Amino acid sequence: MLLLQQSAHHNTQENYKGIIKNHIKPAIGMIKLRSLTPELLQKFINDKYREGYSRKTLTIFHTVLQHALKQAVYPYKLLNENPMQYVKLPKKEN
């Protein structure tokens, strides 16, 4: 059972690395950390929504950014607050 948990954890890490490499870095990787605003991050999420990504994938994008920027606030103290706290997933269309 432990081996299965480690494997799932490893797969999650690899998935997140892929999201960072293929989506986040190309879209906003050149922007300085302190220049990341809720508006810019919301645009990133909205653009991915318009590109047709599923709600689950959008949630993963949001989660990766949320956790990375949370660490930039604490413990690293690179930001005063996390701009992702204001970013919302687009409403589901019927």
Label residue 54 by pLDDT band (50, 70, 90).
Answer: very high
Residue 41 in contact with residue 61, Cβ under 8 Å? no
Residue 3 has pLDDT above 70, yes or no: no
Q: How far apart are CA 12 and CA 23, in angstroms?
A: 16
Tell whether pTM > 0.85: yes
Residue 10 has pLDDT above 80, yes or no: no
Residue 9 has a pLDDT of 77
3-7, 10-14, 48-52, 70-74: least confident range: 3-7
